[in-house]
Amino acid sequence: MSDDLPAALADELARVHLVGIGGAGMSGIARILLATGRAVSGSDAKESRAVLGLRAQGAAIAIGQAAENLDLLVGGPTSVVVSTAIRESNPELAEARRRGLTVLHRSQALAALMAGHRVACVAGTHGKTSTTSMLTVALQHCRLDPSFAIGGDLNDSGANAHHGTGGIFVAEADESDGSFLAFSPSVAVVTNVEADHLDHHGTEAAYTAVFDAFLDRIEPGGLLVCCADDPGSARLAETAESRGIRVRRYGRAAATPESTVDSGAVLVDYRPVDGGAVATVLLDDVRVDVRVAVPGEHMAANAIAALLAGLELGAPLDGLLGGLAAFGGVRRRFEFKGRTGRDGSVRVYDDYAHHPTEVAAQLRAVRPTAGDGRVVVIFQPHLYSRTRLFSREFAEALALADEVVVLDVFGAREEPEPGVSGALIADAVPLPAERVHYEPAFDRVVELVRGLVADDDLVITMGAGDVTMLGPELVAALKPPDRTPP
């Protein structure tokens, strides 16, 4: 049951209680704990697909948080796992402290489960989930059966975590609170470094510094895979080289003759094909076509990063290319929700983009998919601090669409700020006023969009909050009424 964990950690993880067990990160840890034979309990604010799935695997889960939930397991937990979002006043955390139980941050628990594996971590401001997922699917295609923990559900399997039989562990590494410093990867991928999560880090300099610290977590002899096209990631690559860390770059700017290391994979051509794309790269001076089934050059770049990481892990090139071509996407990453409209020509998608760079990249990517139709985006800002700091950048990104609907801010872990609302973004979008709509009332959005959408349009809901709920509602609402005689 203890796998290769040190004895002390194996004892602490014998019976585990997870506060907020239904969350993306927590549910993945719970899945792996259950798969390795450990007793698991937890709590969450509401029922969800993740909670139901964990119950089916044997977890004891309470809805609502209370001190007595620590008694869901016979004998009580040997440790309690929390995330940064859990405050000291939480009744379950307070009770764990009172009992003198071991309290682990979720990153510490995940790091413990990595023991005995060769670890690949994917970090970066954007693209972590997609790149981690691509690497996982590619390795599975090579029959290496990696363990993995991802911040989203794979469309093919519906899972965000798995305890594999192979010796590889692939993990999405979260920089938002600096918790990825708990990991010690032998292969680290950094897709990009751009100011974000300043509610935690405070300044752009502090946010950048945590990536510099992440370099010191790479195992001796390990590899850093970096995007040469992103200024932040490119700077990090130079810093890594100055510290004697091996680096492989990817992207259009990956050809660096003055570098002391391999250039990695140089992107020389990108061609949209059948809703996906073919990216041609020079891989150590050999031309290789990388096929992806998802649109956007940013997604092709993620696939190239996964390819380099997979090669470093010992997977065969042909197997990795086959796996990347078969990658079916990740839930909430340009996820198709359905066709609707008078003649079924309106397509509805949902996407997790919640940073200006992500919004712009996704809207550029969907343009070829839209064809002759318009792109209608329904955007929900995430966090008051992010809305205040990046309102103009969000507005410029949203202007890549033809019709823009902005909702009010999904506050998540933050309290409202006076004067900060979705209107800050809507008012700054550089499009004619009749094409920009601010709708703070969530229950009015579907009716508003019904009056905007025309045949052949592509509608995309976008954001990290509950905007994802609108997709199925739009598919149903935009269909004409059924006038078939009884």
CB–CB of 131/189 below 8 Å?
yes
Q: Which of 12, 78, 95, 128 is catalytic?
A: 128
Q: How far is CA 354 from CA 118, 132, 301, 361, 390, in A?
A: 32, 18, 19, 11, 11
- Residue 89 region by backbone torsions, left for phi larger than 0, else alpha for psi between -120 and 50, else beta: alpha
129 is catalytic: yes
Q: Half-sphere exposure of residue 453, counting CA atoms within 13 Å on the CB side?
A: 33
The stretches of 221-326 forming alpha helices (DSSP H) are 231-242, 297-312, 317-326
Q: How far is CA 207 from CA 19, 61, 405, in A?
A: 27, 35, 31
Q: At what angle do helices 231-242 and 204-215 cross, to 10 degrees?
A: 40
Strands 436-438 and 458-462: unpaired
Longest Cα pair distance anywhere in the chain, in angstroms?
A: 75
d(CA 296, CA 282): 19
d(CA 386, CA 429): 16
Q: How far is CA 391 from CA 208, 356, 388, 427, in A?
A: 21, 9, 6, 9
CB–CB of 437/404 below 8 Å?
yes
The continuous run of DSSP H or E covering 281 comes out as strand 276-283
414 is catalytic: no
Phi then psi dihedrals of residue 250, to 5 deg: -140, 155
Q: Which of 78, 129, 132, 256 is catalytic?
A: 129
CA nearest neighbour of 187 among 268, 277, 308: 308
The continuous run of DSSP H or E covering 140 comes out as helix 128-141
Q: Which of 172, 312, 335, 358 is catalytic?
A: 172
Sheet holding 346-351, edge to edge: 335-340, 346-351, 458-462, 375-379, 403-406, 436-438
175 is catalytic: no
Tokens at residue 118, please? 């060769």
Q: Which residues contact 212 (CB under 8 A, 6 or more apart)?
A: 236, 239
Show which residues are catalytic: 128-129, 172
